[in-house]
Structure 1
């Protein structure tokens, strides 16, 4: 049994991870720590485990094997490196850090400590992504010329009389979150497009503030890839009813995914509607557990994580300077 401490309830997925731990026979929650005492004490009571106010006491506890890091992104580097030094395995919410330099320093600490780090990039395990990957690997679309991916919701649309929508106010704290829609929700289309299109060589970004005064909430990127493909990456906190969309365009065909509806228009495939069910890969948390227990190599890689931060870092610079950033 891998004994886990959950570190902070700051991120909206913290409760999801707690549920995933409870449903995994290889994991158990032993402790809660939170940078906000009141929030941590409430969560510990809900989970029926002790609350520990001192992070060092959690990390030095020999009964704790691993930690789940849901802190503000601004705290990731400090908390993850400290956990690694105490030989704790680490599962963390995306993004890993605000800069490639910080991300590489985190990985250096992980490698020195010999512990396992998993950054949650869950859509790399979904079968809709696996269809997109297959459309390229099987030659259905020919040479890839463009990948478009959109992931958006209405969490930033405030009902009349309210300041915020269902996204918590802390997601608009630029210091803690590092940005808005693109760094958070936009992470998913970034890492998906990166994986499908290859090595990025240039980024042009428009990080727009539709209703927010602090961070972007309606944004898009145009990414050039070494392969010659273009990436169009879109995200928003202010788009009601927007489906998840992933589109792969090539010289011999087009794959269109809207939520779970998958369609192929290709001279290499007879049927336009794909009915084969591709099994999803194990979730990031399951892959993390498997790596700890058996040494199995995860499908979510250090390269995926670093390249996500590379695009995010370039996007901020591109928007601030109003120009394309060469990578």
Structure 2
């Protein structure tokens, strides 16, 4: 790449907006040049933080010939409109999960990116983490036997008020049904979802979900999703904004068991501790590589669609208060 790609941040709605802006600032292949947000206060604060101009004119920003790509961290409900517009303008897209509120919208976004030769990558960061690679190798080795059960839990305490305050550190907008679409499961729960899909498969027969709000908000901050497979495996996805980590993975089979916790980065298989390798290239770096190489992020996009499908199903099951049949891609 002869010169850095010029990148703009679209939206400081999500708490990870600053993280991706920092990556664009620090990656040798990219340069952060602008910020847009439909909320001037959020946008201007983000622009000031990174020392770049703020604009309230999205169309003008996307029309810039010198702009190569965008990171999208807007409210979830506007993902489809903004990403399709960015793709039609020929701007490469790196986006916060979930890709879209519905599978149809996710597929529309991908189609727009493909039609305009735009490189699209969804941030699914834990796929590149060392423990994920190690767990995949253990599963593939057959040492656990036939898999019977998997559980992935991720939580933080962002919804819980402390020291006499009224709110936790997570912004209230994360609990607005119209813009956020869903609560802990739709946001933080994405990570357990795509990891469980990686370990056990993305084709369960049934999905059930229980949501609760410890902080009494309009969306859940405490969620458990259970999926059942045709081969009798059970998968459990847990996510919450009402208690701190540890991040935990458990995989059980007919011949062994695997546990991982980020407390000490400890991976054990049937009581034996294994070395956890270093992380591989992160999602933002993969995006830059796809742009430079002219390649499509096939696996990332397929997983992003299936992640959306599972989140939609979990939210439906929670609303219905019962297990539902899982409608996979070929259904």
Superposed pair shares fold, TM > 0.5: yes
Q: How far is 1:297 from its partner?
A: 5.5
Alignment partner of 1:35 out of 38, 41, 60? 38
Kindly report structure 1 stretches of 4+ aligned residues shifted beyond 4 Å: 296-300
Aligned to 1:283: 282
Is 1:263 paired with 2:262?
A: no
2:273 is matched with which residue?
A: 273
Once the two structures are superposed, residues 109-162 of structure 1 have per-residue CA deviations (whole angstroms, 9 ceiling, x without a partner) of 111111111110101111111121111111121211111000011111112543
1:197·1:227 contact (CA, 8 Å) conserved in 2?
no
- How far is the alpha carbon of 1:29 from its aligned partner? 0.7
CA distance in structure 2 between the aligned counterparts of 1:139 and 1:3, rounded to whole angstroms: 46
Structure 1 pair 107/213, CA: closer, same or farther in 2 (3 Å)?
same
Cα separation, 2, equivalents of 1:262 and 1:292: 34
Deviations, residues 90-121 of structure 1 (Å, cap 9, x unaligned): 00000111111111111111111111111101
Q: For structure 2, list consecutive stretches of 5 or more residues without a partner in the other structure.
A: 327-331
Greater shift in the superposed pair: 64-73 or 303-312: 303-312
- Residue of structure 2 equivalent to 1:221: 225
Does residue 119 in structure 1 map to residue 118 in structure 2? no
Q: Normalization by structure 2: what TM-score?
A: 0.93
> Which residue, out of 213, 221, 225, partners 1:209?
213
Give a deviation string over 1:274-327, Cα, whole Å, max 9, x none: 13x423221000000001001356485222111111111111111111111112
Secondary structure at 2:46 match in 1 = helix
Aligned CA RMSD, in angstroms, stands at 1.5
> What is the TM-score of this pair, normalised by structure 1?
0.94
Q: 1:281–1:216: structure 2 CA closer, same or farther, 3 Å change rule? A: same
Q: What is the correspondence of 1:64-143 to structure 2 with a 5 Å cutoff?
A: 64-143=67-146
| CA-to-aligned-CA distance 1:232-286 (integer Å, 9 cap, x gap) | 111111113x3000111111111100111111107xxxxx0113x4232210000
- For residue 167 of structure 1, report the CA deviation from its aligned partner: 0.6
Structure 1 pair 299/149, CA: closer, same or farther in 2 (3 Å)? farther
Segments of 5+ residues of structure 1 without an aligned counterpart are 267-271
Judging changes above 3 Å, is the alpha-carbon distance between structure 1 residues 161 and 102 closer, same or farther for their aligned structure 2 residues? Answer: same
For 1:239 and 1:104, the matched residues in 2 are separated by 34
Alignment: residue pair count: 320
Verify the 8 A CA contact 2:204 2:228 in the aligned structure 1. Answer: yes
* C-alpha contact (below 8 Å) 1:74/1:98 kept by paired residues: yes
Contact residue 26 and residue 289 of structure 1 kept, 8 A: yes
Query: What secondary structure sits across from 2:274 in the alignment?
Result: coil
